[in-house]
Structure 1
């Protein structure tokens, strides 16, 4: 097959990749580390891909309008010649999903390698026909060509000896210790002292699942962690699938001001309350907290928004409230997929987000009813995670929110300790550290958390 025929074979695949990128908001992040613009044989499609990459690099959303704007900015004459993206109209009607974009991208890379091989071999053929050609040098060039093309065939990876990794790990650990001693650190403290002492806080690249029964207080704990992270100067993003932005802010205002959220909703506020609330609003105005309501978003939508914010430097800690309400889209071929598998797939994608962006991600999740069927004190265990199949395997950390008062317990049956206003975080899984229980105190409305003190009643 000659180069012209190879380009013709590859054209539908290139069109499918571009259509997939224009159809799905976050598909570019699946291929941009693998696919370079020069790999497109068709110059017009290469031009569109360059526009898409420029948006992704700048942390801007990718859709048909933004891509056309980028095309005008990069090469206005080419944009006018193509009349924007109208030359892709038929392809966009045929390709309505990015479901197979990685497969299409791999095929595109394969055709690029074959074209490169064909061009290079033709050059070597011309060189080989010369009587004065140095055979040893020509063979060396052919060997280098083969190695270069083999590297193109394999997605980027890195093989290192254990000793190299150990050296780098120790250097990093020592550097972090020196930074901490100098008052500089990249840890994210949760605001629950016992938990921070037990786990060291939230760590980059790790997925923490924060679970609890309904009304146990998992959203309150997550917001408390988010507020404390923002007070440490971390850029916090709180995606809520359950509460509106106004409801989230109402809780944050109550946490900061100490004014009961019920006063804001229906009881009314006094002059002193309003003064406290105004100060709370001013603090929120200074804090780097971004809110988003994701009621109908899929995990792909959430990922696209997170990637955009991260590129803009507005995301260093991510909270998602909560897993079991994230929208699941099933095609006809996936109708038999169970909820367990679907949720497991979502958790895996969120874990990848944490690794790709190198940030801590806290994912809230619902517990099943098994804990309530057990005898008091109804302590949670890992199997209580609703649709727990992949969750406990994928998560780096699993935390359970527990309040004895919810089960009618006011005193510890063994120690007789007063449990009113005492909450517990069961650290049931910690891939890189110890497990245990962290205690905290809370007010009746569960809007303010403080460190545990056994002397308080």
Structure 2
């Protein structure tokens, strides 16, 4: 009897229960999938209240910045409605579907189909209501027709969610309003963007902007991590809440660098050379400064981009994230399912870059992603200056990034003097802005000490 009712229910027009369960199963097997469908699906679009409840729990987790898996979803279901959770016996009603669905690859297509079915159900219900009204002897024809048009218009607006289309004039008004507001804030001494702490770079790019992905790339030991950490330190000194997620170095190693940057004490003294009483006094002063700076450090050695995203969103929800650094792209853990064995590293890293860009847009913060260059730059003749094609496993990285900056130090190639100007290049670094979607490209020089723990603005008079 129960099976017969279930079968009859599933063949009702505009209700697709297997697809609803496939969407839920896809969300549980792909922790990042919710961000692909959150703008497409609302809980009420599920015809089965059980699926709607699970989806509501997944949305709640994403909103709170908590990672999505079967355990966290069940815990959230308990928190939202313990009685309903007990009635459903958790996620057990999805057990068969979870065995069949191993990937979230088609979840957007499924979500769009569920949205279409929901819209059709709304249309049927609305028209039935109008049909009832039309059969009344007192029916007002113009009012009925206007009601039908209003119903069609509201449903049409609901179907436009994917592209969020707007007239150019309306967007222009919003852009100018924001530009004028930022100009007023600048005139009042408020800074709307975040400065890097290096004058030449800020002069060239204006700094770091909300919603933008900046890729900082370089060859190993070129100093990209040092440059990024220096920028993070200077952002924190501006009162900006900064998170520095490292896949390469532990928190202690990064703190050692920060203490060295602030105190001026060589990091090697902290590690093995030893410190004097005067050194320790300066280091204690550096520690006190660090205690007052809004810098969060995290080691992400085995994290996927989804794990990093969940941690960042948690900070963002707490109002503790104005800028995010990820060091670095090529070491982020890539989980490849059986259905994606043919996926190349290029595509996987390009996908990580795309998700980093989405993080910047969703959280309205600048995201700085470090990356490694391939060996082609070392084989190049002359100054060995990098170009965009040198991005290692570049894939879609250069297309997704708003800004690409290369860290370059000539003396790493035993080039100590500029062949044209004869300028001494020892201790002189170059931040080469190779791509800037919304501004100028070019080079920004800086000076550094031998340990790359102290970066300063470039002055040609300094030798």
Instruction: Give yes or no for TM over 0.5.
Output: yes
Match of 1:381 among 361, 376, 387: 387
**Mapped contact 2:14–2:117 kept (Cα < 8 A):** no
Deviation at 1:337, TM superposition (A): 3.2
**Alignment correspondent of 1:23:** 29
Which residue of structure 2 aligns with residue 451 of structure 1? 457
Secondary structure at the counterpart of residue 217 of structure 2: strand
* C-alpha distance in 2 between matches for 1:99 and 1:251: 41
Residues 1:92 and 1:159: Cα distance change in structure 2 (over 3 Å):
closer
Aligned to 2:3: none
Q: Secondary structure at the match of 1:276?
A: helix
In the TM superposition, what are the counterparts of 1:230-245 in structure 2 within 5 Å? 230-245=236-251
CA distance in 2, matches of 1:333, 1:71: 30
The residue aligned with 2:199 is 193
Verify: 1:320 aligned to 2:326, yes or no: yes
- Tell me whether 1:57 sits opposite 2:67 in the alignment: no
Q: 5+ unaligned residues in a row in structure 2: which ranges?
A: 1-6
Partner of 1:425: 431
| Displacement after TM superposition at 1:202 (Å) | 1.0
Q: Call closer, same or farther: CA 1:73–1:138 in 2, change over 3 Å.
A: same
2: CA distance between counterparts of 1:70 and 1:304?
16
**Deviation at residue 4 of structure 1 after TM alignment:** 6.5
Match of 1:396 in 2: 402
Q: Does 1:91 align with 2:102?
A: no
| Residue 170 (1) aligns with residue 164 (2) | no
Alignment of 1:247-326 (within 5 A): 247-326=253-332
> 1:238 aligns to what SS in structure 2?
strand
Of stretches 380-389 and 177-186 in structure 1, the one that deviates more from structure 2 is 380-389
Tell whether the 8 Å contact from 1:20 to 1:98 is kept in structure 2 after alignment. yes
How much does 1:61 deviate?
Answer: 3.6
Given that 1:3 and 1:115 are in contact with CA atoms closer than 8 Å, whether structure 2 keeps it comes out as: no
Q: Does 1:365 align with 2:357?
A: no
Structure 1 332/91 Cα, relative in aligned 2: closer, same or farther at 3 Å? closer
State whether residues 56 and 308 of structure 1, in contact with CA within 8 Å, keep that contact through their aligned partners in structure 2.
Answer: no
Q: Unpaired runs of 5+ in structure 1?
A: none
Report the CA distance between 1:10 and its aligned residue.
1.9
- Secondary structure class of the residue paired with 1:6: coil
Counterpart among 339, 345, 361 of residue 355 in structure 1: 361
Aligned counterpart, 2:125: 119
Kept in 1: contact 2:29–2:103 (CA 8 A): yes
Which SS does the other structure have where 2:433 is aligned? strand
Aligned partner of residue 130 in structure 2, secondary structure:
helix
Cα shift readout 1:155-205 (whole Å, capped 9, x = no counterpart): 254444444333332332222121112121221111111111111111112
RMSD value, Cα: 2.4
Q: What secondary structure sits across from 2:326 in the alignment? A: strand
Counterpart among 94, 97, 100 of residue 106 in structure 2: 100
SS at match of 2:434: strand
Whether the aligned pair in 2 keeps the contact of 1:7 and 1:41 (CA below 8 Å) is no
Instruction: Kindly indicate whether the alpha-carbon contact (under 8 Å) linking 1:238 and 1:318 is maintained by their aligned counterparts in 2.
Output: yes
Taking a change above 3 Å as real, the CA distance of residues 275 and 90 of structure 1, as seen in their structure-2 partners, is farther
- Residue pair 2:195, 2:208 contacting (<8 A) in 1 also: yes
Q: In 2, Cα distance between the equivalents of 1:51 and 1:158?
A: 25
Deviates most, 358-367 or 384-393: 384-393
Equivalent-residue separation in structure 1 for 2:102 and 2:343 (angstroms):
21
Structure 1 stretch 421-430 or stretch 338-347: which is displaced more? 338-347
Partners of 2:297 and 2:92 in 1: how far apart?
36
Confirm whether residue 339 of structure 1 aligns to residue 345 of structure 2. yes
Distance 1:410 1:142 in 2: 77
Counterpart residue number, 2:188? 182
What is aligned with 1:129? 135
Q: Is the 8 A contact 1:223 1:252 kept in 2?
A: yes
2: distance between equivalents of 1:56 and 1:301? 12
| CA–CA distance in structure 2, aligned partners of residues 4 and 389 of structure 1 | 43
Sort the Cα spacing of 1:372 and 1:54 in 2 relative to 1 into closer, same or farther, 3 A. Answer: closer
TM-score (norm 2): 0.91
Q: How many residues align?
A: 457
Equivalent-residue separation in structure 1 for 2:306 and 2:151 (angstroms): 38
1:38 paired residue number? 44
